[in-house]
Amino acid sequence: MQSHAGRIEVICGSMFCGKTEELIRRVRRAIIARQKIKVFKPSLDDRYGIQNITSHTGQTVAAVPVLDSSEILQYANAGTTVVAIDEAQFFDVGIVGVVQQLVDSFNIRVIIAGLDLDFRGEPFGAMPQLLSIAEEVVKLHAICVVCGENASRTQRLVNGAPASYHDPIIMVGAQESYEARCRQHHEVPGSPNTRAP
């Protein structure tokens, strides 16, 4: 079966909200519809293995790891009808042009999952541009570990304490941990946007 029109679908939210799970669900539906699918991930994300994407609940699908967004165009060959991209916030800004080319030049349905906000609570990488050009945006929420309300932020903890605003945005292989938090319980020491008590 062929896809009738190229389009962009973005699934975003904090960590632990189910972004990858939703991406995998959409990929599996496309498989049932006999679509020709290519799944990509940034090669720096090796948390659950390099050749697949895996949700926190253990669902998995095979994926091609790429260093640079331009590599996606090399793999998405003629006949590809669906391209899925996980952890899009880690790609370079060229991902926006790549996605637009897939949709406009090749009539491909592109499904993207990624963090819309970094640990500071600020827009992450090229995600704002991807959100603005998408036909469909789904913002998922996790559960705040402090109060149990909807969480839209990712709290980075270093040695049990909130990470500083001045820490690097991406810390591959670091010993930090993450929690889902609501706006009220999200803490970023040193942030210029810190609320007065």
Catalytic residues: 87
Residue 190 C-beta-side C-alpha neighbours within 13 Å: 8
How many whole angstroms separate alpha carbon 155 and alpha carbon 150?
14
Q: Which CA distances in Å does 120 have to 7, 154, 157, 189?
A: 30, 8, 12, 9
Is 101 strand, coil or helix? Answer: helix
How many whole angstroms separate alpha carbon 108 and alpha carbon 124?
25
In one-letter notation, the amino acid at residue 14 is S
Q: Locate 153 and state its tokens.
A: 């932020």
Of 192, 183, 127, 143, the closest CA to residue 164 belongs to 192
Q: Locate 194 and state its tokens.
A: 């810190």
Q: Which CA distances in Å does 114 have to 11, 64, 121, 142, 159?
A: 7, 16, 14, 14, 25
How many whole angstroms separate alpha carbon 175 and alpha carbon 171?
9
How many whole angstroms separate alpha carbon 31 and alpha carbon 1?
10
